[in-house]
Structure 1
Amino acid sequence: MKKTIILTLSICLFTIGIVSAQIIPNFSFGVKGGLNYTAFPSSGIFNNSNRAGYLAGVWARVGGLGFNFQPELYVTGKNIRIKDDLNNENTAKFTSIDVPLLFGGKIGAFGLGGRFYGGPVLSFAVNKDQSLTGATSDATSLRYKDANYGFQIGAGVDISSFSVDLRYEGGLNKIAYGDGNSHTRVNVFSLALAYKLFSL
């Protein structure tokens, strides 16, 4: 009987903890960093090979009732090698400031939980380096736009103050000027580690 009472109380406390974690509004702020894997799909204008890049920045999260809003601000470096039919190569590297505005849900309690989210992302180019390794041609150069927009979807796991996120980003507009770049939209897979600095 005593064991049954203790077990029942434990289950009740655990349930109350989960419900409280979902209902009570909260605010968190932290830093994040990670790697991305970038691809620029094209319609036969050039071939491209994916290359790894980086991301580093800050995030905030506010929510309750199991739902949350998570704006982020981070610097990201995206790299890709492109090649045309004449074997001209261009290593395209550009740096941007990305601003995702993500909406999602969370389940879990006691420092352990899972998240899923999605939303728009704005990207502002701050550096547009291109290192030509072959003869210069229109097919192997990109005239980047200063601003682009897209969407992100992903999921994450929270363990105490640490989080791990796996995310996909799809471009909604072409990232470069010119008819030859009409299908050049960025696709990015990223894996990031985040740390919560404080929560209220």
Structure 2
Amino acid sequence: MIKKSLLIGSALLLLAVLAAPDAQALSPIRFGVKAGIQTQSLKMQGMNWNELSKSNNFGYQLGVMAQVPLGPVYLQPEIFYSSARFKLQGDLLNPDGTMAESDVSAKYSVNTVQLPVLVGIKLLFLRVFAGPSFNLLTDTSNKSGKEGVSFNSSVTKSAVAFQVGAGVEIGKFNIDIRYDGQFKKPVQTFTFGKNYTETVKTKMNSWQLNLGYFF
């Protein structure tokens, strides 16, 4: 609850600065908004699914950003909401290897509020950047594809990830493509039905395509 309040307060403060008519006159800092799509990969270690298949739907991200000139480089902190979506399908096994359920499918999404702090350099209209990304809030939502089989998951994502990418900036518009990776494999717990629970290590990385606009 405290984290949510801090997040909402930070977002409102940044929006207030964006709305200030003379913000550009007071500071060389530029503020903007961004939105984009992403495709993500998911790797799981230890899951007792037979012939497990994973299909990745396109996710999305949207948020706000600032750009601070620092001589030959710039600092670009951002805060945005990201939603990654997956579908799992296969035969579920018992711990002893016997069949528990056949043809089980489940869809779920991993939703995260991220705070990347990027350092970049501009070469004419081109730019490259990299930096850490702090995951502030993470939750999951899910829906089982088979009647009678409940599917629940809780994610403890890596607190610190990283981003690296490149893009072009033309006037107030910028387009970039970036890779979002994890320093360690977070733990994820799946619960099937009421009694079967399994904890596995997961690794989720994504490629993002973003469109931004500076005011």
Matching of residues 51-200 of structure 1 within 5 Å: 51-86=57-92, 87-108=103-124, 113-134=125-146, 136=149, 141-145=152-156, 148-178=159-189, 180-182=199-201, 184-197=202-215
Q: Which amino acid aligns with 1:78?
A: A
Q: Which amino acid aligns with 2:132?
A: P
* CA deviation string 1:54-75 (max 9, x = no partner): 1111011112332111110011
Classify the secondary structure of the residue corresponding to 1:158.
strand
Classify the secondary structure of the residue corresponding to 2:91.
coil
TM-score normalized by structure 1? 0.74
Gaps spanning 5+ residues in structure 1: where?
A: 1-24
* CA deviation string 1:14-48 (max 9, x = no partner): xxxxxxxxxxx942110001111122122473431
- Higher mean alpha-carbon deviation, 188-197 vs 34-43, is at 34-43
- Higher mean alpha-carbon deviation, 87-96 vs 142-151, is at 142-151
Contact 2:138 2:156 in 1 (8 A): no
d(CA) in 2 for partners of 1:39 and 1:122? 19
Contact 2:36 2:209 in 1 (8 A): yes
* CA deviation string 1:69-108 (max 9, x = no partner): 1110011111111224343211111322111111121111
Q: Which amino acid aligns with 1:105?
A: I
- Higher mean alpha-carbon deviation, 152-161 vs 25-34, is at 25-34
Percent of paired sites with the same residue:
27
d(CA) in 2 for partners of 1:35 and 1:97? 15
d(CA) in 2 for partners of 1:146 and 1:187? 12
- Higher mean alpha-carbon deviation, 188-197 vs 39-48, is at 39-48
Change (3 A) 1:159 1:54: same
- Higher mean alpha-carbon deviation, 81-90 vs 32-41, is at 81-90
Change (3 A) 1:83 1:172: farther
Runs of 4+ in structure 1 displaced over 6 angstroms? none
d(CA) in 2 for partners of 1:175 and 1:90? 20
Q: Which structure has the highest strand share of the two?
A: 2
Alpha-carbon distance, 1:147 to partner: 6.3
Alpha-carbon distance, 1:174 to partner: 3.0
Q: Which amino acid aligns with 1:40?
A: L
* CA deviation string 1:141-188 (max 9, x = no partner): 532127632111101100100000101101223343357422x12111
Classify the secondary structure of the residue corresponding to 2:159.
strand
TM-score normalized by structure 2? 0.69
